[in-house]
Amino acid sequence: MPRIEIDGRTPDPDLLATALLNQYGHFTAMQVRGRRARGLDLHLARLSSATAEVFGTGLDTDLVRRHLRGSLTEEYADSAVRIQVLQLDPGGAPSIVVLLRPPVDMPRAPQRLRSVRHLRPLANIKQVGGSFGQSYHGRAARTAGFDDALLTADDGAVSETSIANIGFFDGSAITWPDGPALEGITKQLLRRHGPAAGLTSKAGRVTLDEVPAYRAAFVANSQGIAPVSAIDDIPLRVDDDLMSALYNVYESAPWDAI
């Protein structure tokens, strides 16, 4: 059963209603196992920088950790966690909302993506609720039998999927599209730890027309990593060696105590 705490306490109905009616804010999502999370410093840095940009104020990241730590009872030591920063008191400090749900890992089955002409506004901020267009196109792609939508500019330049970063592999290095996209935590972990395993990466322009030139592609978000087997009617090889290397790098990233 989900659990929610606001500023370190279980909200009463009035406070919960206030939070539901005030969705201007940002968040980070992480998987917690044994009260530990990968890339905790990256999550806290994301929350801090977004709070400064969205609310024009600082964020006490030690307080965020204390609230998260206090919510992770024995029952919720393994959880899918969402930490939101919302302005519930006009003129007051932003509130810290911790939402806990059962843990989840991304299925490793290959994904099929449908390209759409859409770019998420303010893509550098992980927005509470996401943008409507992002959610709409992701849902429409799944209804049409795809796994997700691939967001592109009018000229076909790739940015991200509706819920994940996408990487393209040419046989020697990973290219992360340089279109507007959220700097995902799993993407940052792969860039941080990949070089030690021989997985180098760079940012660069990738268009739909250029997709067939790549050896493989994959998606990465807070739930994990999965290969991409097709974009629209363009088939992509599932590179087992690449995926094995990506999984090894991701799983070798240390779990940080909360």
78 phi/psi in degrees, rounded to 5: -110, 115
Please, which pLDDT band fits residue 130 given cuts at 50, 70 and 90?
confident
Query: Residue 131: its pLDDT value, please?
Result: 82
Helices (H), the chain: 13-21, 40-55, 61-71, 132-143, 185-193, 240-252
Please, which pLDDT band fits residue 148 given cuts at 50, 70 and 90?
very high
Q: Based on C-alpha coordinates, what's the Rg of the chain? A: 19
Lowest mean pLDDT among 17-21, 112-116, 214-218, 235-239: 17-21
The pair of structure tokens assigned to 71 is 């919510």
Give 125's DSSP letter.
S
Do 162 and 142 touch, CB atoms closer than 8 A?
A: no
Question: Over the chain, what is the mean pLDDT?
Answer: 96
Q: Tens digits of per-residue pLDDT, 157-207?
A: 999 999 999 999 999 999 999 999 999 999 999 999 999 999 999 999 999
pTM: 0.95
**Distance between CA atoms of 144 and 37, rounded to whole angstroms?**
34
Query: Residue 91: its pLDDT value, please?
Result: 81
Do 255 and 34 touch, CB atoms closer than 8 A?
A: yes
* pLDDT of 82 over the 80 cut: yes
Query: Residue 230: its pLDDT value, please?
Result: 98
Do 173 and 200 touch, CB atoms closer than 8 A?
A: yes
Query: Residue 190: its pLDDT value, please?
Result: 98
Domains of the chain, each with CATH number or no CATH: 3-101 (3.30.470.10), 111-253 (3.20.10.10)
